[in-house]
Structure 1
């Protein structure tokens, strides 16, 4: 599956940063700047932060996420959501999110959040959505002023342990074409199957709307099967446990089970988040992460950040880990990026324009740089 470009060496981190990237799985409340959390907490009188110095707070978030304790991991989101309860805070956090992604070379992103988690100060669901949308548009304007092109769409998330999925799905539908591009459910998979929210998914299908479902991260193949066959998900949030339906023999031959074959044959996108998957125990190391095999087998694999603050990551870092582990080239990174853009929840012609006008030319320019510098080195 390698192309003629596969003979080029793996790109360095700076080349990866400049490469156009597409992000489909990123949580707004998992990507705040530590300095912003400290400032918002001081403004709002929130005095429960474990650290009030930004660098120490950043380290605390990563250590808590790496601790192996679900209680500590969930506590991290309690702190970020606590300072995201006002219109001003939501606008700021959303705008900074876009700027940070754009500075990292992301040209298209779908950022998700749960409106029901931002109502403690009296905002309505509609006011939450409008504040975040305003922040995303402001972030796009600020990024453009800095010379970084980016487009961001919102995914509205319902918490799978709650009972507001239909209400949030209807909200996503009302703000369709107004900045919201789809719907999602998130939260603990075990004990809270997606089938609890069939009314929301049936509504979205009737409205011809898009949705992804967190599945196959912690609970395994049954959650993937339910998300696809009972709920009709367009994409799988994580979906990394599809590897459990793939057998690799000692001689290297591979046999796909029926569910894995269905996922590959139907080109169902997998929103893989390597660093996050390591934190949750879905893989022991980057080398052991299923993404290497899934890429080789031609699944619709995409690379994502999940929670940039908790995982201390970015799209550049996610790609860098994969390049160092699997010796991927620019050709491989383009493959992942085109996969993601093909899978975005915006119209086909707009996806195609991003691929042909932004992504492919961006990677071609990086390849030309390498060829020029390599030719210069050989001739000197």
Structure 2
């Protein structure tokens, strides 16, 4: 009954369009009040202890870094450079969009920032060269999901804190799956472009033009090298890397590219503060929600229910993937990670899956939810940028989604892809 009230209240509030942070908090309050003798003061205590974590400081700094890069000209120069390299091939502009999203993901760690920064340049460019606007927007929305898989990744930070898994190991393990997601979208883009006759920009760039674009983009290209190189070498922690990313982005955008003025910097800081405020709110109350789950032994009941369906490892992992995909369509990845990790991690580890592999699988599922109808946030961002309706985006997102789902299955059933470098 406690599980029914907890999840029932949460779902009803979501259907009533109550902000997810409040929905989590109210449902947790209902569960604790009606089904435990715990004083309600525990809610405030858990909220504070849940956000009192040094690794969580990486989240606002990575958000701020992504905003500074968007306004500082870094995304635009990455687009120009990769366009000079591969923009002339069949589907070239679409492939450029995917590659730049992969590269920008290694800087910002945010799916929304990736779609917003890259889509603002590439969707109009693709349309101008004869690409269908609906497909262009859908491809950009799908490519933005890579932003939370290729490190640095905000959801990896959350998962690492919740599960006690090394964030550096998660960053290392996420690199190859992120590349695989990008390659899958490139294949989809090429096949669709081949069928519909979508060409590149028309002519191959000269070596002089490529060299000029590279010279202009060198500081943008060095950004992920510095950030990820520092993490992997042990020179600084992921949290320190986030601070380095902010300082580097501010200096490059202000003094090198000279496109980040006071107004742009103010907007970047303001947007980061607003988003981090809502994120921190969700993290705090998600901690309370997860704590009550543990007290009521709901994870054990759910685990017994899932394993009671079948003892086949492959079927159970498939069921978990389907569950995560559905949840990812409706619930933001941060509270979903905090709530679902204590429920599903023990099940997967009991079948020999490492916590790192589960973290990648969990994040990929929820990331795919970013571009899955009806409430995928990447769809709304792409729709806002392109002025394409959600209905039209939904029709055109199917093929990119199939490519991403194939990669998800490979990650789930072949541990090699997540354990190769750790």
Give the shorter-chain TM-score range. Answer: under 0.3
Where relative contact order (Cα < 8 A, 6+ residues apart) is larger, the structure is 2
Higher strand share goes to which structure?
A: 1
TM-score (norm 2): 0.23
TM-score (norm 1): 0.25
Higher helix share goes to which structure?
A: 2
Structure of higher CA gyration radius: 2
